[in-house]
Amino acid sequence: MRALDIFVLSWRQMKERRLRSILTMLAVAVGVTTIIALSAQVEGVRGSIVESLGKLGPETVILTVHGGMSFTDADVARLKELEGVSTVAPVLIVNGRVTDLESPVTVVGISSFDMVNLLGEVRLLDGSMYVDVPAPQALLGSSLAKDEVGEIRYRAGQPFLVQIGTRPVMMTIVGVLDTYGNLLLIQPEKSVFIPIEYLRTLLRTAGYEIILVKAARTEDVDQVVQLIRYVYGGRAEIMSLKQITEMVINITSMINVLLIGTAGTSFIAAGLGTFNIMMISVLERVREIGILKALGMKDKGVLSLYLIQGLLIGLFGSSVGLVLGFALSYVMPVMFGGFSMGPSEGMGRGMELSFMPIINPSYVVVAMSTSTAITLLSSAYPAWRASRMRPVEALRSE
């Protein structure tokens, strides 16, 4: 019998038990859908975090206070003298509140010259940068300058009332920042930037909670980290953006492996279901198998007949899982939204991370090939059992 005839006969047998075949395909599709959808979320989170870290630059090292003693101007001067250091930018981050807004805002004290070290680049929608003098000047994030429908709420030159701690402060808006997305330390869109000397005056403090250190080259980062650790010991927590990026990539890779392993258990259920359905199909068609053999079909043809059915179940089930996986990948962020990375001490509100799912083709290939292979393996024994039936035995058993 020709290969095309065997294929047509396999397809016809599946159509005769349409509901059973569809349910088996859906069982196969569950594993494919789960792997594609979950891996897309992990890849999307990883891409968003790495992108956020990349805005600060891989040569950035972040120092935060550990032990309660703030950094001073002497620490800034000492860091500038370390070999391999190109820039040192002290930062003050506190929570504040704007009378017109329900949610709190982040007040960031930083020199105008150091803004590029914090934001990667300075892009203004309106106005200009403030001058580094202890004066009530404010640079607003884009979300603060606009309301929920996108209408302008504040413009450059307008007064702006912000409460820092228990003290309300009237400031003058000098500019409005463009949209930046998520950063590691802050959300620029929901932040108010003011001269660091003015914020120190308001807080009556002479210290800093955070210092950004830029290495001259990416290759110097490890050396700079070692020097800072030697100078400060346990007084400072040191975060290298290069190391954090590598750690994020490694952790998300392990999470993906864990998710694939967990989702892979659904393939076991799909394989057992396929095995059960194929055995039932063989037992139901004992007389038909006997007639086919009596008409001259070889054992190899019967074996191919049921293996093709298993292959079709795997291919169609994988295709359905692929479509559902793509759809679910983009629905899940809408259903669950972003998530927040909680703030550390002295680091303001932390980062609320939003992301777009990223579908990795390698996981798609793994999911589809695994599901197809399992359905084929599950069909192997029933197909062999059918091929070993003798025409007389098959007809008598009926």
pLDDT digits (tens, 9 = 90+) for 175-195: 988 887 767 778 888 889 999
Would you tell me the crossing angle of helices 299-336 and 18-56 to the nearest 10 degrees?
Answer: 50
List the domain boundaries for the chain. Answer: 3-54+245-397, 71-208
pLDDT digits (tens, 9 = 90+) for 357-373: 888 898 899 888 988 89
Determine contact, residues 99/192, Cβ cutoff 8 Å.
Answer: no
Residue bearing tokens 């295709």: 319
Which position has the higher pLDDT, 353 or 45? Answer: 45
Determine contact, residues 160/171, Cβ cutoff 8 Å.
Answer: yes
Confidence of residue 324 (pLDDT cuts 50, 70, 90): very high
pLDDT at 62 over 60: yes
CA distances to 106, 114, 245 from 56, rounded to whole Å, are 18, 12, 11
Q: Which residues of 196-230 are buried (b: 16+ CB within 10 A; e: fewer)?
A: bebbbebbeeeebbbbbbbbeeeebbebbbebbee
Confidence of residue 2 (pLDDT cuts 50, 70, 90): low
* Integer Cα distance of 225 and 231 in angstroms: 10
pLDDT digits (tens, 9 = 90+) for 130-178: 988 888 999 988 888 887 767 788 888 888 888 887 788 898 899 988 8
Among the residue ranges 47-51, 175-179, 388-392, the one predicted with the least confidence is 388-392
What's the confidence (pLDDT) of residue 347?
46
pLDDT at 327 over 80: yes
pLDDT at 323 over 90: yes
Q: What mean pLDDT do residues 254-266 have?
A: 80
Q: What mean pLDDT do residues 253-278 have?
A: 82
Give the whole-number percent of the chain exceeding pLDDT 90: 6
What's the confidence (pLDDT) of residue 195?
92
What's the confidence (pLDDT) of residue 349?
46
pLDDT digits (tens, 9 = 90+) for 186-227: 888 888 999 999 988 888 887 888 889 988 888 888 888 889
pLDDT digits (tens, 9 = 90+) for 225-238: 889 888 887 788 88
For residue 321, is it left (φ>0), alpha (ψ between -120 and 50) or beta?
A: alpha
* Integer Cα distance of 245 and 55 in angstroms: 12
What's the confidence (pLDDT) of residue 320?
92
CA distances to 36, 50, 81 from 54, rounded to whole Å, are 26, 6, 25
Determine contact, residues 134/219, Cβ cutoff 8 Å.
Answer: no
From the list 238, 206, 241, the residue with the least C-alpha distance to 52 is 241
Confidence of residue 392 (pLDDT cuts 50, 70, 90): low
* Integer Cα distance of 150 and 144 in angstroms: 10
Q: If 0-12 CB within 10 Å is exposed, 13-18 middle and 19+ buried, where does residue 346 land?
A: middle
| Residue 127 one-letter amino acid | G
> Model pTM?
0.68
* Integer Cα distance of 106 and 28 in angstroms: 49
208 beta partners: 71
For β-strands 105-109 and 191-194, DSSP reports them as: parallel
* Integer Cα distance of 189 and 198 in angstroms: 21
Report residue 136 as tokens. 């009530």
From the list 277, 281, 375, the residue with the least C-alpha distance to 23 is 277
Q: Mention every residue, 6+ apart, whose C-beta is less than 8 A from residue 393.
A: 290
Q: Mention every residue, 6+ apart, whose C-beta is less than 8 A from residue 261.
A: none
Confidence of residue 353 (pLDDT cuts 50, 70, 90): low
Residue bearing tokens 């309300």: 168
pLDDT, averaged across the chain: 81
- DSSP 8-state class, residue 130: P
| Residue 115 one-letter amino acid | M
